[in-house]
Structure 1
């Protein structure tokens, strides 16, 4: 038997306790929803709880003759990127569709609905004509030359659109998916608004499908920030499935069935799910659709979708014989260096929903490495969530604001500078760099609920504003975590998206 000195024993005990710690998922859920208020652009409501923020971007779209005030900043900068913003709203809506009762039980349903509506209200403005979508405000190149609070912006606020001559199928289809998913969310509480969202979703899907083209070719300034590596076919399938969920119109179901092979939905075996590569989400949604009353051919194709969805889930569980998602020594899923936790949180929503589905239909997952029950999937989801909340080798919560330790130097312009409400003294472009970015002190404002990029492959994390690959947070990181936290916090039985 190996011998340990007393210090080693103490370290082993503390490590064991840290990794078995129980977290307050309800508190984390509340904080995750608060984060979206910090990312708001436009005129803030009187109910605004993040008091260090103030109105910003009030002239957005004016130069182009369109009202583009509102929406969200995607991360720590001041650009409104349409593709990740729409994806954020799709994920938030999926979270509410799947876990409405749990979110309501935590007293956060109204907050979640407000977060979704802040985005969809903006999309309505950004879609003034059936075949026109304003897809971006500001540009990353000029924005990244300055370090200014959003309230002080002096950088370009030029707006960029896609239309028939300059198509953008990715952003049109993702916005359609967001509005279709949100229409389900509001179908009972705001039926007129729900129908309006659905009308926009239908038009946007038709636009994206009929006038096909990569949005980063029509808007070249986005290439350095949100380029479309996977193309637009995954977004078209994704939008079709959400429209089918929202309308029960077989036209959209048949679209996903007929294009499953040629668009890669039933052929691509994927080991990530993100704002760009949506195949795993497409495959999971399709796999959870009911098969009653469907043709044999449709059932066959749905089975192919299911096979690919389960490949992804097995890859996350390390149950494939070939392709699996890497893991850090501490057990965290690891896809790539830049903002790795987006892939973790996005994937956890897929796994959580699919765990519910398997429980509902009383089936198991058959991976190459063995049979997996829904309980094992949910247990894995919990372990990854606990890692995020602090059960990790660094002892750091990567969800900002969750005690006892979290990143204090998040790469975020507004959080890193004195609050505009405390000091309305204008902060210039370069002044922000010298006075705030270069400071070693913690940010004066806590970006509560932000899920930062997280640790590297070896569980190492350096809390520095310059380490933006690890300390910058994005809206789509937190959006998917809302549903996961609601599930872990809620007492209600498992249920399937296919039966909602």
Structure 2
């Protein structure tokens, strides 16, 4: 019966998405480039191993205004501000990808580990003062009024923090989750570093839970509308507790999850997952224990995860999930590819959990099998890599046809080696409005993507479509690693 449902589902996929193709992709090459992108987003002192040579050192004195060292970390997108909330989420998803799919990364695993460590080294600095989390470096309004290289920037590098008087449980919770997840990644590779990460994750979570509040209430004029927390802080507390339980195996965190399940809104079957909303991710992550038979009293999380999975099936009626005519998951709002990669990552991850527990998801008249879920995830990845109506790869440097004018300051302005003289705040405007392709290739950058009708303008001013972000690429790392090893979705998956 399951085989019948799978055949029917795949047939529906072909009918719904006529632009899909069975063309082979070089997932290994895409993985290499996807990870390489993070080197283009580095802030601080670049290491000798830096491969994107058009980037140079930048923001070396970050934190000095507050008497702390906050150099390093990532620029989140095409600007020069360091936002802690999306950076922490990036670290968490990179780590999750390595935990579940690292065995398939081959020689790229070391580069993936470096990408995680670049984030966690910074997060350790940002949490070095007890009871404080530094959550942003840079004046976002001033930065967005300039178009200049990170190596040149002269906008204020103001430091912003949350503390007990100005709580930020959402950003602190995500930071704890990132540190805990990374501690798993480095447990056998660097035990001392792993212990440091886990100890810090514990203390940051305690701070986040004790002094509850949303950071966008404490720092509204600073973080809004850029990374305003629209969905509150409750999901991040559960998310952090789930990762701390996974990292420490301390039953205290399991009990915390169960005790606070309804208080913190875990019963909300919200089908979103990203830097601001962790509900679907919480349910999928916790469901692994349920599916493996280790935590039946958390069955409600599996039921929520099943409902989430069913909402993603093409052809089902759901108010929050749409598919473009060409087959791309589409959610209203900016930078749609962040939804595509994050939701696809959960589809793939859950399919592996189902495979190893011999389960399927009942979705009305259709049973969603592990192979079915992997097929949907693969279709999204293939769309990104070029199987779409525009016949365009939305990953810079992959394939023959990809975005040339991405909304990214460092990529669009001449490099320091090509133009040693400083380019001032407003002097960069002529490069922003130029119709010429960007002079520096930000290899591996995945842009916000096409609109709901599968059209893509390839123009810097259309930032929602043309701007890359770290949290678009982070979930894609795990996806590409899996499909590099298992290009046929019917193949049995691995379990981290």
Q: Normalised by the size of structure 2, how large is the TM-score? A: 0.93
Distance in 1 between residues matched to 2:85 and 2:401, nearest whole Å? 32
How far apart in 1 are the matches of 2:492 and 2:375?
A: 15
Q: Can you list the C-alpha shifts for 1:339-387, whole angstroms capped at 9, x where unaligned?
A: 0010010011111111101110111111124111101111111111101
Task: Give the secondary structure class of the aligned counterpart of 2:142.
Answer: helix
CA deviations 1:66-91 (Å, max 9, x no partner) are 00000000000000000000000000
Residue 291 of structure 1: how far off its partner (Å): 6.9
Work out whether 1:425 is the aligned partner of 2:424.
Answer: no
Aligned equivalents of 1:424, 1:123: Cα separation in 2: 32
Aligned pair in 2 of structure 1 residues 85, 322: CA closer, same or farther (>3 Å)?
closer
Whether 1:350 aligns to 2:346 is: yes
Conservation of the 8 A alpha-carbon contact between 1:416 and 1:445: yes
**Of 451, 454, 472, the match for 2:449:** 454
CA distance in 2, matches of 1:18, 1:329: 10
Note the C-alpha offset of 1:313: 1.3
Matched, 1:483 2:485: no
**Is the 1:318–1:324 Cα contact (8 Å) retained in structure 2?**
no
Cα displacement string for residues 387-411 of structure 1 (whole angstroms, at most 9, x for unaligned residues): 1100000111111111111000000
Correspondence 1:93 to 2:92: no
Contact 1:169–1:209 under 8 Å retained in 2? yes
Q: CA deviation at 1:293?
A: 8.1
Q: Quick one: distance in 1 between partners of 2:65 and 2:278?
A: 34
Alignment of 1:166-181 (within 5 A): 166-181=166-181
Match of 1:442 in 2: 437
Aligned residue runs from structure 1 range 247-262, under 5 A: 247-262=248-263
Runs of 4 or more consecutive aligned structure 1 residues displaced over 4 Å after TM superposition: 15-18, 290-294, 319-324
Structure 2 unpaired stretches of 5+ = 1-16
Deviation at 1:312?
1.4
The alpha-carbon deviation at position 130 of structure 1 amounts to 2.4
Shift, 1:318, TM fit: 3.2
SS at 2:73's partner residue? coil
Map 1:356-435 to 2 at 5 A.
Answer: 356-434=352-430
- State the 1:292 CA deviation: 7.3
Query: For the Cα contact (< 8 Å) 2:37–2:442, is it kept in 1?
Result: yes
Structure 1 residue 446: Cα displacement: 1.0
Q: State the shift of 1:311 in Å.
A: 1.4
Instruction: Give the Cα separation in 1 of the matches to 2:313 and 2:447.
Output: 23
CA-based RMSD of the aligned residues comes to 1.6
Report what 2:462 is aligned to. 467
Instruction: Tell me by how many angstroms 1:423 deviates.
Output: 2.0
1:294-327 deviation line (CA, Å, top 9, x unaligned):
6xxx624x22111111111111113655556101
Rounded to whole Å, the distance in 1 between the matches of 2:290 and 2:312 is 24
| Stretch moving more, 322-331 or 22-31 | 322-331
Residue 11 (structure 1) aligns with: none
TM-superposed CA distance for 1:16, in Å, is 7.1
- How far apart are the structure 2 equivalents of 1:146 and 1:100? 39
Instruction: Give, in whole Å, the separation in 2 of the partners of 1:78 and 1:327.
Output: 33
> Which string of whole-angstrom CA distances, capped at 9 and with x for unpartnered residues, describes residues 427-476 of structure 1?
00100112x11111000011111110001111111000001010001000
**Equivalenced residues, count:** 475
1:33 to 10, 32, 35: 35
Deviation at 1:97, TM superposition (A): 0.4
Moved more, 218-227 or 241-250: 218-227
Structure-to-structure mapping, 1:318-357, within 5 angstroms? 318=314, 320=316, 322-323=318-319, 325-357=321-353
Tell me how far apart the structure 2 counterparts of residues 189 and 288 of structure 1 sit (CA, whole Å): 24
> How much does 1:413 deviate?
0.2
2:307 aligned residue: 311
1:208-243 per-residue CA deviation (whole Å, 9 max, x = no partner) reads: 000001111222210110011110000000000000
